[in-house]
Amino acid sequence: MQPSVCCWSLKIWMVQLALMFLTIQAQSCTKPIGGPNMVLSDALITHETFVDRAKVNFHCAIGYASAGRSRSVTWKSCGSPGEGKNGHFDLSEGILFGDKVVATCNTGYMLVGSDVRTCMDGGWDGRVPLCEVVKCGKPPTIVNGGPVVQPEEMYNYGDVVQYGCEKDYTL
């Protein structure tokens, strides 16, 4: 016995309704998870559900940068902390996000500014410190003698002042 046309139509309609229901249910997706050290773009971070086939953008977490065209990310490098005259940076800790470098001046120079710079998300914090030459005041006076030439008010580190003695005296 063949089913009636009415019954057959009802079964098709019920199958279509079931497929439509399954399709609607499949359109709601949970929040996608990116790779390590990747986060959803700011515009999407508060969304809890996404429609089927929605396109989402991820960006690198703070301190990370894209590793070329791959989907992986790597620590972000800050590059050189800067070049200063008469001193150098100790780069032994590294130049990646979170690393610190320490500035040291050459002998005869003193540091002006902070000696430590930290690699941050946007590059090195602070400014490149300066190494200024050490200044010395007027040379001291001595009994029965003095500088051979009229002394200056200020001298730089490494300058030499020659002293001489009055007649009948020696140093």
Residue 109's pLDDT is: 97
**In-domain check, residue 80:** no
pLDDT, averaged in runs of 10, over the chain (171 residues): 44 50 58 70 69 68 68 79 92 94 97 95 93 94 91 93 92 82
Number of domains in the chain: 3
Structural domain harbouring 106? 87-133
* CATH number of the domain residue 110 falls in: 2.10.70.10
Task: Give yes or no: residues 22 and 67 share one domain.
Answer: yes
Q: Decide: 116 and 125 in contact? Cβ < 8 Å.
A: no
Question: Within a 10 A sphere around the Cβ of 114, how many other Cβ atoms?
Answer: 13
Task: Give yes or no: residues 129 and 139 share one domain.
Answer: no
Both tokens of residue 147? 């500088």
Residue 67's pLDDT is: 65
Residue 136's pLDDT is: 93
Rounded to whole angstroms, the Cα distance separating 65 from 119 reads 13
The full DSSP string for 122-167 is TEE-S---EEEEPEE-SPPPBTTEEESSPPPS-EETT----EEE-T
What's this model's pTM, rounded to 2 decimal places? 0.56
Task: Give yes or no: residues 25 and 64 share one domain.
Answer: yes
Task: Give yes or no: residues 12 and 58 share one domain.
Answer: yes
Residue 133's pLDDT is: 96
Task: Find the helix or strand (DSSP H, E) in which 10 lies.
Answer: helix 5-26
Residue 99's pLDDT is: 95
